[in-house]
Amino acid sequence: MKGVLAIFAFLAAAISVLAQAEMGGVGIALAMDKETKQFSVHKVIPDSPAAKSGISEGMLIQSIGGVPVTGKSIEDIVAMIRGPLGSKVALELVDRTAKKTNKVELERISIAALQAAQAAKIGDPAAPLKIAEWVKGEPVDLKNREKIYVVEFWATWCGPCRVSIPHLTELQKKFTDKNVVFVGISDEKPAVVKPFVEKMGDKMNYIVACDNERQTYSGYMDAYGRNGIPSAFIVDREGKVAWAGHPMAGLEGKLKELTKQ
């Protein structure tokens, strides 16, 4: 009897794995406004079902499969949009620019294919910085083509990050006259980041900000397959990502190359 139960358990696990492997998506990333609690389209993957249907960034999601999204979590919404490969899902969205409601029915395609399509590579345009609060220094606009930006991801709890902070401060000092601006971004709350930055003082002498619902993290860390912090990205004067890696391994050399120092 135990042997039979074990076989059934194995089959159930195998079916579960197969079902998960066959789940599909439509090619959108979501964001939620913390004040209004409304869900919007944060990103549309090129050539995905969503892109082909005319869905664009900024649209508000009203319902999925006829079910209103009010009161749902991001996890709920993702689960509602995903489904068996090849099945269809109906979305109702509000185009705030055109001030009209759009209803579309999309066929779910392979999530692996969607992930491959959205994988970023060096030379791609840099994602915008989605910041909840600027903790130290002035707000940064990556559209300023007179400057080169170093966008670095860190956290107060991260030991290696603490080691790299003084190094980043030295590099900021060294490359200031070359119009290089360093920005350290944490996905922690301002209440956690602020006292840490104040305690560091001049040892952390560059711009520091708190991510907005990990939207910036998604545009850089997730997009470029960076799994650990600290991680840094160089955005060149064309607004493209010119380099990505550990801030203490290759960053200075690439900055010298870009600034001809």
How far apart CA 257 and CA 261 sit, in angstroms, is 7
Q: Which of these three, 91, 118, 145, is where a domain ends?
A: 118
7 inside domain: no
Report the pLDDT value the prediction gives residue 250, as an integer from 0 to 100.
93
- 76 with 195, same domain: the answer is no
Q: Do 197 and 136 meet the contact criterion of CB atoms below 8 Å apart?
A: yes
Report the pLDDT value the prediction gives residue 117, as an integer from 0 to 100.
67
Q: Do 135 and 207 meet the contact criterion of CB atoms below 8 Å apart?
A: no
Report the pLDDT value the prediction gives residue 9, as an integer from 0 to 100.
47
Residues of the chain with pLDDT under 50: 1-20
Tokens of 191: 């209440």
Q: Do 241 and 223 meet the contact criterion of CB atoms below 8 Å apart?
A: no
4 inside domain: no
Report the pLDDT value the prediction gives residue 42, as an integer from 0 to 100.
85
Report the pLDDT value the prediction gives residue 132, as an integer from 0 to 100.
96
Here the CATH number for the domain that contains residue 253 is: 3.40.30.10
User: What is the reported pTM?
Assistant: 0.62
Report the pLDDT value the prediction gives residue 45, as an integer from 0 to 100.
85
Here the CATH number for the domain that contains residue 109 is: 2.30.42.10
- 249 with 147, same domain: the answer is yes
5 inside domain: no
Q: Which of these three, 97, 118, 139, is where a domain ends?
A: 118
Q: Look up the domain containing 197 and give its range.
A: 131-259
Report the pLDDT value the prediction gives residue 74, as an integer from 0 to 100.
84
- 112 with 159, same domain: the answer is no
How far apart CA 153 and CA 98 sit, in angstroms, is 36
